[in-house]
Amino acid sequence: MANITDSEGYKKLLAAVVHDETDSPGLHNYGAKLAFAISRAEHYAAKTGLDAADILNAWEKQRDYWYMNFYQECNQPEIKGNNVRVFETVAALKISIGKTGFRCPMCAGISKSPYECDSGKEMSRGEICNWKSYGLLGTLGKGVYVFVKSELRGQNIFMPIAYETVNNQI
């Protein structure tokens, strides 16, 4: 296992933190965000058997906005409880989801998409629900975070209907 502080992801994140500390000292606790990212990568490593350096590298490759907003509980939740699930592969994730659709957290309709409500359910004032799992309010705590080990990637999605069954009860 590589030392996380030797990884490219750590070096990239550290450079951003040093830049912000120099450019805008005292504005935010930049060091705490760096510590969160490292701690959370180590948590994911412990829970998945993957390498923390690889996880941080992957997150930094995926990150396309400010690290202060990227590294948050909602984007890298702890792997615990029923609202976070880990899969070896995308195929394993797809099998677990099945073909029954996803529960929209806003209208409670069934969507074919895990990210955007396409239920066609009418909301107030005749508007059709178009809720997004990736919007400001996300899944309103009614979705699930799925992490795929082979991709070193996780996402918040609407709750799969398959997870609502008695056998897979959340």
Could you write out the DSSP letters of every residue in 107-156? T--EES-SSB--S--B-GGGPBP--BTTSTTTTTT-SEEEEEGGGTEEEE
Q: What are the pLDDT digits (tens) for 116-154?
A: 999 999 998 899 999 999 988 999 999 999 999 999 999
**How far is the first Cα of the chain from the last one, in angstroms, to the nearest whole number?**
34
Q: What pLDDT, on a 0 to 100 scale, did the predictor assign at position 170? A: 45
pLDDT band at residue 2, thresholds of 50, 70 and 90?
confident
Averaged confidence pLDDT in the chain: 95
Token pair for residue 10? 């750590």
Whole-angstrom Cα distance, residue 163 to residue 150?
A: 22
Count the domains in the chain: 2
pLDDT band at residue 166, thresholds of 50, 70 and 90?
very low
pLDDT band at residue 90, thresholds of 50, 70 and 90?
very high
Q: Are residue 89 and residue 10 in the same domain, yes or no?
A: no
- Among the listed residues 155, 76, 66, the one whose alpha carbon sits nearest the alpha carbon of residue 116: 155
Q: Are residue 26 and residue 101 in the same domain, yes or no?
A: no
Token pair for residue 159? 């709750």
Count of positions (residues) in the chain? 170
Looking at 34, 52, 75, which one is the last position of a domain?
75
Looking at 42, 75, 108, which one is the last position of a domain?
75
Q: Are residue 94 and residue 30 in the same domain, yes or no?
A: no
Q: Are residue 130 and residue 157 in the same domain, yes or no?
A: yes
Q: Are residue 8 and residue 52 in the same domain, yes or no?
A: yes
Residue numbers of the domain that contains 55: 1-75
Query: What would the mean pLDDT of 108-120 be, rounded to a whole number?
Result: 98
Q: What are the pLDDT digits (tens) for 33-84?
A: 999 999 999 999 999 999 999 999 999 999 999 999 999 999 999 999 989 9
Which residues are registered as beta bridge partners of 116? 132
Residue 160 has pLDDT above 70, yes or no: yes
Q: Are residue 141 and residue 86 in the same domain, yes or no?
A: yes
Looking at 51, 75, 99, which one is the last position of a domain?
75
Residue 9 has pLDDT above 60, yes or no: yes
